[in-house]
Amino acid sequence: MSNFDEYLTKNHDRFESDLFEWLRMPSIGTDSAYDKDVRQAAQWLAGKFSELDLKTELIETCGHPLVYAESPKIEGAPTVLVYGHYDVQPPDPYELWETPPFEPSVRDGNVYARGATDDKGQMITHLFGVEAYLKTKGDLPVQVKFLIEGEEESGGAGLAAFLAGEYDKDVPVKEKLAADIAVISDCSQYAPGQPAITYGLKGITYFQVNLTGPNRDLHSGSFGGTVTNPANALCKMLAALIDDDGRVQIPGFYDNVNELDQREREQFSSLGFSDEEYRNELGVKELAGEKGFTTLERRWARPTFDINGLWSGYQGEGAKTVLPAKASAKFSFRLVPDQDPHEIEASLKKMLEELCPPGIEMDFDPHHGAPGFVLSLDSPFMSAAARAIELGFGTAPVFVRSGGSIPVVNRFTEMLGIDTLLLGWGQDDDNLHSPNEKFSLEDFHRGIKSSCCLWDEIAKI
């Protein structure tokens, strides 16, 4: 047994009791009644970094403070930026929790508490990974910087202002955070016993369209057939955005799509994903989507179009023969690398203007947009992380993508020009944002070991 394993064994219980102590602090960032607890959670974490002699700061922001800590720069070695968050989702509804959300309780090898997996339990593995390294091997072989925010669940205004340079003191933020790679542990493994690296995320572009026809709601008998009904027009316009094969019809939409290569397709199909189980879980008779791609390919690596909200006319009980004056829809496209949300917005606007019939006024309202993210499977950081996970979990990770977006990953790319390793130690059924949030303690310890191994593996690059 190496020194390192010995250290982890000796501190096994203390790692857990430290985590439980932190989980007891109700750091609910969205609710100002908990401001004191949020600050206490930040101070507790900063204290832990200080105990390891990391250069630590509590950075005050317009919202909750950021916790920043760094180890010394190692000449000629890479710098790793670890991001995480110490705020948690509100625990409501309380009555659905089997044990109180801020009294960590261990059952079947899991710790149950709000923040167990999202993100306190996952984030803190990196603090303990650094600790174990320092206590057994001396100095870290790479520089590690920690940036831990308290508003991930509530919009992240403080982090945004910090990244924009608003709290710069002696060092500009870009220099302060300069790194070669970022690491985030705030997602899931592929399945129990099967760790994963998430190497791709989708982007998004979101819109609202409001159509206006006649100057008031009309009687559909007296006026129907004489003016364009905005609800009819909206349905026709939205239907034109996608064809029967699930292909989005916006000109140029697929031009920059980073196509899946053979290796990725084989990788996905080797995961043994079952369409039947998925169908049953969702309660539908048939799956649907873009032709020529498997369910996992469509979920993880193909762009999609969905109407998110649609309203017009009469919504109440019974019938009302109205020809509505207005109709609106919210809809979005999930994008993949290297689709550009701005180009798609411009092309969509032009297309809708052409589709909008005479007699209808269109108000086109773009909401937010963000590009997708993909880290090359050939990146040396990816191989380093895979080796570290294999050492920590005893199983090599699989490579997966996600249909979701993580805005901070895009910010790191834009601002620091770096990629992010998404190393999730959680499970899909961890109930994050729901009652009875949990985290497997075995995975917690495996995460600590993986983190500790990661520093050496990255140093070898």
Q: How far is the CB of 427 from Zn ion (least distance, A)?
A: 14
Q: How far is the CB of 20 from Zn ion (least distance, A)?
A: 19
Only segment of 110-118, 200-208, 347-355, 439-447 that touches Zn ion (CB under 5 A): 110-118
Only segment of 111-119, 316-324, 345-353, 399-407 that touches Zn ion (CB under 5 A): 111-119
**Binder among 119, 151, 180, 264 for Zn ion (CB under 5 A):** 119
* Alpha carbon 257 to its chain's center: 21
**Alpha carbon distance, N-terminus to C-terminus of the chain:** 25
Q: How far is the CB of 373 from Zn ion (least distance, A)?
A: 16
* d(C-alpha 405, C-alpha 416), whole Å: 18
Q: What is the DSSP letter of 95?
A: G
For 120-191, list the strands marked E by DSSP.
Answer: 143-149, 181-184
Q: Which two tokens stand for residue 121?
A: 């339990």
Tell me: does residue 437 bind Zn ion (CB under 5 A). Answer: no
Which of residues 186 and 443 has its CB atom nearest to Zn ion in the complex?
186
121: CB partners within 8 A, 6+ apart: 19, 23, 111, 115, 425, 439, 444
* Alpha carbon 1 to its chain's center: 37
* d(C-alpha 382, C-alpha 401), whole Å: 13
* d(C-alpha 77, C-alpha 180), whole Å: 10
Which of residues 69 and 406 has its CB atom nearest to Zn ion in the complex?
406
Q: How far is the CB of 123 from Zn ion (least distance, A)?
A: 9
Which of residues 159 and 362 has its CB atom nearest to Zn ion in the complex?
159
Which of residues 119 and 345 has its CB atom nearest to Zn ion in the complex?
119
Only segment of 29-37, 55-63, 67-75, 115-123 that touches Zn ion (CB under 5 A): 115-123
Q: How far is the CB of 404 from Zn ion (least distance, A)?
A: 11
H or E element at residue 390: helix 380-393
Strand partners, 209: 329, 364
Question: How many residues of this chain interact with Zn ion, rule: CB under 5 A?
Answer: 3
- Write the single-letter amino acid at 221: G
Tell me: does residue 118 bind Zn ion (CB under 5 A). Answer: yes
Q: How far is the CB of 410 from Zn ion (least distance, A)?
A: 16
Q: How far is the CB of 414 from Zn ion (least distance, A)?
A: 21
Which of residues 118 and 180 has its CB atom nearest to Zn ion in the complex?
118
Q: How far is the CB of 301 from Zn ion (least distance, A)?
A: 23
Q: How far is the CB of 258 from Zn ion (least distance, A)?
A: 26
The residues in 301-340 that bind Zn ion, with binding defined as CB under 5 A, are none
Residue 413's CB: how many other CB atoms inside 10 A? Answer: 16
* d(C-alpha 201, C-alpha 179), whole Å: 21
Q: How far is the CB of 440 from Zn ion (least distance, A)?
A: 17
Only segment of 4-12, 37-45, 116-124, 233-241 that touches Zn ion (CB under 5 A): 116-124
Only segment of 34-42, 118-126, 172-180, 441-449 that touches Zn ion (CB under 5 A): 118-126
Tell me: does residue 264 bind Zn ion (CB under 5 A). Answer: no
For 127-195, list the strands marked E by DSSP.
Answer: 143-149, 181-184
Residues 141, 74 contacting (CB under 8 angstroms): yes
Q: Which two tokens stand for residue 62?
A: 């317009």
Q: What is the DSSP letter of 214?
A: S
Q: How far is the CB of 85 from Zn ion (least distance, A)?
A: 6
Q: Which of 438, 434, 440, 439 is nearest to 91 (CA)?
A: 434
What is the pattern of x (binds Zn ion, CB under 5 A) and - over residues 7-46? ----------------------------------------
Which of residues 120 and 299 has its CB atom nearest to Zn ion in the complex?
120
The residues in 159-188 that bind Zn ion, with binding defined as CB under 5 A, are 186
Residues 398, 190 contacting (CB under 8 angstroms): yes
Only segment of 114-122, 212-220, 325-333, 374-382 that touches Zn ion (CB under 5 A): 114-122
Residues 214, 260 contacting (CB under 8 angstroms): no
H or E element at residue 403: none
Q: Which of 88, 79, 85, 84 is nearest to 26 (CA)?
A: 88
Which of residues 119 and 443 has its CB atom nearest to Zn ion in the complex?
119
Site residues for Zn ion per CB under 5 A: 118-119, 186
